[in-house]
Structure 1
Amino acid sequence: MTDLHEALRRGRARARYSQDDVGAALGVSRAMVSYWEAGSRAPNDRQLSALARLYGITPADLAEGRDVEPEEIDLAGMLLRADEEIDPGAAPGIREFVDFLQRYAELADLLGIPIRGLAQSPFVHRAKFVQKDDVRRKAEEVRSLVGLGTGPIRDLDPVCELLGITVYRAPLGADLRHAPSGAFLNHPEVGFSILVNLDMTPGRRRFTAAHELAHALFHSNETNRVVSNGRGPRESFADAFAGEFLMPSEGVRRFVEEVGIPPRIVDATDAIHIQRYFGVSWPTALVRLRQMKVVTADTYRELKHSVRPVSLARSLGYSIHPEEYEQDAGLWTIHRFPRPFLRMLRTAVIAELMSPPTAASFAGVAVPDIVQILGRPHGNAEQEQPQVDTEFVEFEATGVI
């Protein structure tokens, strides 16, 4: 048994709330929460009940300082309460996200494999808003940590995995005037976790993943959850970071010089080459070039309204992803899950800890999807194999191996 003030401190730490979070939830100042945890003041009965609900234990246990395992914390409710103006239509996607994280933790426990999730950011960010050069330096720090240099990032998921950040995708609504683009949650068992709105365009999803990465790395010292709504200095920082992280100023400058593109762009084909090199969407590239003053305001407006970027890119010889024409939710049945989770699910089936139907039910997918991650023949696999076999023959015939 511990004293009340110690139980309050431990309960908050276990639920991964900051003192600011607790103060906001109860309508008191951060200083008051600090007084409670120092033992110089005590919460009243109403406040004690609210604290117990927040920390997932009973009021009696909290009042008597009993160190017990907390009941399940309503993490989805925490996220939904993080933004009072959140679109109710986003609630199912947010609950799906939290439910997935719980299943992920259960699967790791079943296999005895630890989730190497980040629980504390290696970066420091104290200011509520920072200047452009500060954002650039922060993006450079993150790129340097994972060895990215100034070139393009072809896939953000492995970057997040390397950092220990889980990425999940779920539908939250297509109208971003009301629906959130994504969210960040520091999960008690999984660690830093990012949610990306699957209803958005592919390019916007990519930008949002970088945006939520900023919240995880630079705002997790202030709060354990963020719902991205596009409002406030925290959101402004994350937007600026995402642009700089995906299209670093120095990387754009080097590419422009090496390829021979004029420093002030007026030709749409030059902008398309930059967009395709960095692997971002046309709107992301154009906005970023305008921010860097590589295009003028007039050119920005002209290119925004007159260019058909997919058709132009195809005519220039670039390959086009099917979702650039039309979003296909079917592509994300399996790929909405992070790869470490899929690897664990595959291991569970191969080790016969789960049957394919059980694994499908556990993940909320169809049995053929489980067969797919097992790498067993399905669909057009018979058409695929001759090409694979031919390539092996070519390697062996030329003495490469």
Structure 2
Amino acid sequence: MSLLHEVLTRSRRRTRYSQDDVGAALGVSRVMVSYWETGARVPNDRQLSALARLYGIEPVDLLEGCDVEPATDGLVGMLLRADDAVDPVAALGVGEFVQFLDRFAELVGILNEPIRSLTQSPFVHRQKYSQKDDIRRKAEEVRAHLGLGSAPILDLDPICGSLGIAIYRAPLGADLRRAPSGAFLKHPEMGFGILVNLDMTPGRQRFAVAHELAHALFHSVETNRVLCHGAGPRESFADGFAGEFLMPSAGVRRFAEELGLPPRIVESVDVIEIQRYFNVSWPTALVRLRQMNAITQDTYAEFRATVRPGSLARALGYAIHPEEDVRNAKLGRIQRFPRSFLRMLRRAVVTEVMSPPTAAAFAGLALPDIVQILGQPLCDDQQESPQLETEFREFEVTGVI
């Protein structure tokens, strides 16, 4: 048996993380990590759990001073082996993702209720059919399967939910030169799951969901996990699919014609109109229009360097999306989870299968989060908008019910 601080030191060195890396992953200083490893301070329960996930071992092994090898054969290890350069922040996020899928499967078992989960893609894909025309065709096939036509997609989460794919969001790092944008995993019990990097803007997150959807639907025959970081044939395919899925070529051309825009766009305001209509980020819109030859390379370079999309959109009367102010783009804790999980967690509390504190501990949430999931006010004086009551009265007076 070893002392806790000795196991912490050896585990960190074995995973090749520096004290700065560990501090950044856990939100503490390097000095605090040093205190833990010298025995001057002891991590709290939350920090011990995070350290165990980071080092790929069980919290009880840390507490009991057991030297064990990381669980590299587990799901976390499989995902992380996809990229040896993954940083500790991403490692923690991957651990959260796998833990969420495990808990989701456990919750399904506790409630003994069936849930839609996708374990095999309904689409055919062979590696030789990965050219641009094939990618466009596959995006159109998925849209047709979902009954989307070529219309804009307002929210990708319910689309994935209808397919039986669970989406979880976790911080993986803001520097995408080092951090993955997301991951795909086929969980042994929950089927297909998608992880999205919470440190990206909402627009980039939407693209990541569509990107991971491509891996789930077209690469799951070849592999049961993909950590999206770097380049390669699969990543190129998934990027191409995401662009076509979010901004289908036929839909873009139809919208431009209906709006009276020229086939070759030269005005930045026209790009803004297309961007807002398809509910994508400015980079996604600009890149897609360049891919479609709807703008020239010179126009692309000019707009990329000079246009401030938030200011221009505001001048055109559009509401500014959170992604234009990254400081306001962070999601609350409960919004990291798919709605299907939150509904089941709520049902567990309402039916008294779980108490609110038990449900909070089970999901890694705070008690006020559970209160919010139950749809209750956080305090007695917090009420809904009085305009809602006015609207109800209007409907009731006109006799619609």
Same fold (TM over 0.5): yes
8 A Cα contact 1:179 1:229, kept in partner: yes
Which residue identity is paired with 1:336? R
TM-score (norm 1): 0.79
Bigger drift between 117-126 and 353-362 goes to: 353-362
Q: Deviations over 1:200-220 (max 9, x none)?
A: 111111100000000000000
Distance apart, 1:320 and its partner CA: 2.0
8 A Cα contact 2:172 2:198, kept in partner: yes
Bigger drift between 314-323 and 260-269 goes to: 314-323
8 A Cα contact 1:129 1:237, kept in partner: no
Distance apart, 1:231 and its partner CA: 1.1
The verdict on how the C-alpha distance between 1:153 and 1:291 changes in structure 2, with shifts beyond 3 A counting, is: same
In structure 1, the residue matched to 2:352 is 352
Q: How does 1:1-400 map to 2 (within 5 A)?
A: 74-127=74-127, 130-328=130-328, 331-378=331-378, 382-400=382-400
Distance 2:280 2:334 in 1: 23
| SS in structure 1 of the partner of residue 332 of structure 2 | helix
Bigger drift between 318-327 and 105-114 goes to: 318-327
Distance 2:399 2:156 in 1: 35
The verdict on how the C-alpha distance between 1:72 and 1:339 changes in structure 2, with shifts beyond 3 A counting, is: farther
Bigger drift between 345-354 and 306-315 goes to: 306-315
Unaligned runs of 5+ in 1: 1-70
In structure 1, the residue matched to 2:56 is none
Distance 2:196 2:381 in 1: 30
Distance 2:98 2:235 in 1: 22
Which residue identity is paired with 2:338? P
Distance apart, 1:72 and its partner CA: 12
Distance 2:280 2:326 in 1: 16
Distance 2:304 2:396 in 1: 50
In structure 1, the residue matched to 2:17 is none
Distance 2:88 2:72 in 1: 23
Distance apart, 1:329 and its partner CA: 6.5
Matched length: 331
Matched residues, percent identical?
A: 70
8 A Cα contact 2:179 2:229, kept in partner: yes
Distance 2:90 2:376 in 1: 35
Distance 1:128 1:188 in 2: 28
| SS in structure 1 of the partner of residue 319 of structure 2 | coil
In structure 2, the residue matched to 1:64 is none
| SS in structure 2 of the partner of residue 234 of structure 1 | helix
8 A Cα contact 1:129 1:234, kept in partner: no
| SS in structure 1 of the partner of residue 196 of structure 2 | strand
| SS in structure 2 of the partner of residue 384 of structure 1 | coil
The verdict on how the C-alpha distance between 1:311 and 1:383 changes in structure 2, with shifts beyond 3 A counting, is: farther
Distance 1:380 1:281 in 2: 39
Distance 2:291 2:276 in 1: 18
8 A Cα contact 2:184 2:226, kept in partner: yes
8 A Cα contact 1:105 1:115, kept in partner: no
| SS in structure 2 of the partner of residue 130 of structure 1 | coil
Distance apart, 1:377 and its partner CA: 1.8
Distance 2:299 2:379 in 1: 47
Distance apart, 1:310 and its partner CA: 1.2
8 A Cα contact 1:184 1:215, kept in partner: yes
Distance apart, 1:379 and its partner CA: 6.3
Distance apart, 1:186 and its partner CA: 0.3
Q: Deviations over 1:123-178 (max 9, x none)?
A: 11111562111111000010011100101000000000011111100111111111
Distance 1:106 1:155 in 2: 27
In structure 2, the residue matched to 1:40 is none
| SS in structure 1 of the partner of residue 113 of structure 2 | coil
| SS in structure 2 of the partner of residue 168 of structure 1 | strand
Unaligned runs of 5+ in 2: 1-70
The verdict on how the C-alpha distance between 1:72 and 1:234 changes in structure 2, with shifts beyond 3 A counting, is: closer
In structure 1, the residue matched to 2:37 is none
Distance 2:99 2:73 in 1: 12
Distance apart, 1:330 and its partner CA: 5.1
In structure 2, the residue matched to 1:45 is none
Distance apart, 1:386 and its partner CA: 1.1
RMSD: 1.8
The verdict on how the C-alpha distance between 1:381 and 1:316 changes in structure 2, with shifts beyond 3 A counting, is: farther
TM-score (norm 2): 0.79
| SS in structure 2 of the partner of residue 205 of structure 1 | helix
Distance 1:106 1:327 in 2: 35
Distance 2:331 2:224 in 1: 31
The verdict on how the C-alpha distance between 1:334 and 1:347 changes in structure 2, with shifts beyond 3 A counting, is: same
8 A Cα contact 1:173 1:197, kept in partner: yes
The verdict on how the C-alpha distance between 1:378 and 1:300 changes in structure 2, with shifts beyond 3 A counting, is: same
Distance 1:268 1:262 in 2: 12
